[in-house]
Amino acid sequence: MALVLFSCQSEKKENGMQVAEIEKKEFFVVPGEDEPIDSVLVQRGKVLISYADCYECHREESAGKGPTFFDIARRYPNNQVYFKLLGRKVVSGGSGTWGHPVMRAHPKLELEDAMAMVAYILSLEDK
């Protein structure tokens, strides 16, 4: 699924999809419904992230080795499906979605904790 979504050369309104422009790179904003934010989960994710290595590569606003948390939040709908999808990617590591280098795997991280972290990241939208 991630591979289908990645396209830097894509045109602005291709397939009627909204495309955001960040640092001269474009990415598809994945369409989907937002769910009400579970503030307990989000707080847990925030704490977990502060004890993990995430900020080595990610910052909220400015580009680091990985995409900014704000860009990630803009890109994905805020719901359980994406908490799980992206949570799995945090655990297993990966590349190819943003045109950045590889995110290392976090094999010791429980999927449930990774999902809380993603819930925090996606909650950053429009803040």
Kindly state whether residue 90 participates in binding ligand HEC, applying the rule CB under 6 A: yes
CB of 122 within 8 A of CB of 74? no
Neighbours of 40 (CB within 10 A): 10
Kindly state whether residue 73 participates in binding ligand HEC, applying the rule CB under 6 A: no
Report the residue number, 77 or 94, with the smaller CB distance to ligand HEC. Answer: 94
Which segments within 1-127 are labelled E, that is strand? 19-22, 25-28
Which residues inside 39-68 make contact with ligand HEC, applying CB under 6 A? Answer: 49, 52-54, 56-58, 65-67
Kindly state whether residue 77 participates in binding ligand HEC, applying the rule CB under 6 A: no
Shortest distance, CB of residue 5 to ligand HEC, whole angstroms? 8
Which residues inside 11-30 make contact with ligand HEC, applying CB under 6 A? Answer: none
CA 42 to chain centre: 14
The CB-based long-range contact list for 8-13 (8 Å cut-off, 24+ gap) reads 8/99
51 CB-near residues (< 8 Å, 6+ apart): none
Q: Which positions touch ligand HEC (CB under 6 A)?
A: 2, 49, 52-54, 56-58, 65-67, 72, 86, 89-90, 94-98, 100-104, 106, 117-118, 121
